[in-house]
Structure 1
Amino acid sequence: MNQTIETLLEHRSIRDFENKPLTEEQIYTIVRSAQAASTSSYIQAYSIIGVKDKSKKKKLAELAGNQSYVEENGHFFVFCADYNRHHEAASLHDIDITEATESTEKFMVGLIDASLAAQNAAIAAESMGLGICYIGGLRNSLAEVSDLLNLPSKVIPLFGLCVGYPIQTPDKKPRLPIRNIYHVDEYEPNKEEFIKGLKEYDATISSYYHDRTKGQRNAGWTSLMANKLGKPVRTYMKQFLQNKGFPLK
């Protein structure tokens, strides 16, 4: 096993960081690593906002659900799907690309490109001995986040990434059994085997939470997911996307 794989397998989300900012060289390296990620057809349909302003970090922490580590970290990145630059590029050649960028396909490209870049950034940071935590809570209030970061039309914030020097070293959260994730030639046709894997994972997660919370919590994964997905959240999203120039045709 090489060092890259060891870094990947040792991942855990960090939610407690030293009060020590990253250096400009560290930030530059992380962003360059993000840019090295694969991108669909060379489109590079994303932008990264680095947030240093303390008042803005404080506000983002509030908007994300009062998550203190959004404010208190070495650096905070916001990853965005971005077609603004493509419209600017096309205008240099008097070409209208609206039909393409308003398509569901190109919206997916923006999401995928941004996610690939972010994961490269996360791995780069962890390889430097830093900790990271993704922040999907920004999607609680995307209009406010967008205004705070002065994002133009065709640019939408997707999630944040806290990076910094970790104070804590939490236990790794167990992942699903490989047989519930990786299928050979076709999706697992044996439902009994599929369910068996989920039940085994329930026992693993129940034990993990029991130990982590000293018996205060012992739910399995399937019950957590059933309850989490039993009610839709952030239902304003479609209207927000339309307002930002993504009607998704």
Structure 2
Amino acid sequence: MNQVIETILAHRSIRKFEDKALTEEQIKTIVQSSQAASTSSFVQAFSIIGVKDQQKKTKLAELAGGQAYVAENGHFFVFCADLYRHQLIAEMYKQDSDQVLESTEKFMVAVIDAALAAQNAVLAAESMGLGAVYIGGLRNNLEEVCKVLKTPARVVPLFGIAVGYPLAKPDQKQRLPYEHVYHEDEYEQNQETYIAQLKQYDQDISSYYEKRTSGKRNDTWTGQMAGLLSKPTRMYMKEFIESKGFNKR
């Protein structure tokens, strides 16, 4: 096993950081690593907004649901789906590209490009001894997030990544079983097998929580997911995305 794979397999979310800012060199390396990720048809449909201003970080922490580590970290990156530059290109060439830019396909390209770039960013950060955590809570109120970051049309902040020097290293959460995730030649649809794997995974996760909290918590993964699926969240998203010029066709 090489060092890259060891770094990937050692990943865990870090939510407590030292009060120490990243250097400009570290920031540039992380961004350049993001840019090295694969991109569909060389479209490069993403942008990254680095947030240094403490007032803005504090406001984003509030909008993300009061997550302190959005404000308290070495650097905060916001990854955006971005077709703004492509709109400008269409105008440069005096062509009407609204049908293409507003398509579901181009929205998917922008989201996938941003996600691939972000994973490279996290891997780069962790390879430098830093820690990171993804922040999906920015999507709680994207209208206000866009105001804070002053994003134009055809740009949608998707999530943030808080990066910094770890203060603590939590235990790693076990992922779903390999056999449950990897299907060969066709999708495995034997429900008895599927449910048996989920029940075994529930036991593993319950044991993890029980050990981590000294017996104060022992919930299961399927229980968490059932709770998540019972409460509609961010139901404004479709209209908001369309209002930004995405996913309209």
- One-letter amino acid of the structure 1 residue matched with residue 187 of structure 2: Y
- Tell me the distance in 2 between the aligned counterparts of 1:175 and 1:68: 26
- Tell me the distance in 1 between the aligned counterparts of 2:82 and 2:98: 13
User: Number of aligned pairs?
Assistant: 249
Contact 1:80–1:155 (CA under 8 A) maintained in structure 2: yes
**Residue 196 of structure 1 aligns with which residue?**
196
- One-letter amino acid of the structure 1 residue matched with residue 2 of structure 2: N
Contact 2:206–2:220 (CA under 8 A) maintained in structure 1: yes
- Tell me the distance in 1 between the aligned counterparts of 2:68 and 2:121: 21
TM-score, structure 2 as length reference = 0.99
Structure 1 stretches lacking a partner, 5+ long: none
For residues 139-172 of structure 1, give each alpha carbon's deviation from its aligned partner in whole angstroms, at most 9, with x where no partner exists: 0010000011000000000000000000000000
- Tell me the distance in 1 between the aligned counterparts of 2:97 and 2:39: 19
**Residue 231 of structure 2 aligns with which residue?**
231
Are 1:76 and 2:67 an aligned pair? no
For residues 9-62 of structure 1, give each alpha carbon's deviation from its aligned partner in whole angstroms, at most 9, with x where no partner exists: 000000000000000000000000000000000000000000000000000000
- One-letter amino acid of the structure 2 residue matched with residue 27 of structure 1: I
- Tell me the distance in 1 between the aligned counterparts of 2:129 and 2:76: 16
- Tell me the distance in 2 between the aligned counterparts of 1:69 and 1:10: 21
Contact 2:107–2:247 (CA under 8 A) maintained in structure 1: no
For residues 93-152 of structure 1, give each alpha carbon's deviation from its aligned partner in whole angstroms, at most 9, with x where no partner exists: 111111011111110101000000000000000000000000000000100000110000
Q: Identity over the aligned pairs, expressed in percent?
A: 63
Alignment of 1:130-209 (within 5 A): 130-209=130-209
**Residue 41 of structure 2 aligns with which residue?**
41
- Tell me the distance in 2 between the aligned counterparts of 1:206 and 1:106: 40
- Tell me the distance in 2 between the aligned counterparts of 1:229 and 1:25: 42
Q: Secondary structure at the match of 2:79?
A: strand
Shift of 1:216: 1.4
Contact 2:34–2:117 (CA under 8 A) maintained in structure 1: yes
TM-score, structure 1 as length reference = 0.99
Q: Secondary structure at the match of 1:19?
A: coil
Shift of 1:189: 3.0
- Tell me the distance in 2 between the aligned counterparts of 1:189 and 1:176: 16
Structure 2 stretches lacking a partner, 5+ long: none
- One-letter amino acid of the structure 1 residue matched with residue 30 of structure 2: I
**Residue 59 of structure 2 aligns with which residue?**
59
- Tell me the distance in 2 between the aligned counterparts of 1:165 and 1:63: 24
Comparing 239-248 with 147-156, greater Cα deviation is found at 239-248
Are 1:13 and 2:40 an aligned pair? no
Shift of 1:247: 4.5
Q: Secondary structure at the match of 1:158?
A: strand
- Tell me the distance in 2 between the aligned counterparts of 1:199 and 1:247: 37
RMSD, aligned α-carbons: 0.8
Contact 2:107–2:246 (CA under 8 A) maintained in structure 1: yes
Are 1:117 and 2:144 an aligned pair? no
Contact 1:107–1:248 (CA under 8 A) maintained in structure 2: no
- Tell me the distance in 1 between the aligned counterparts of 2:237 and 2:35: 27
- One-letter amino acid of the structure 2 residue matched with residue 48 of structure 1: I
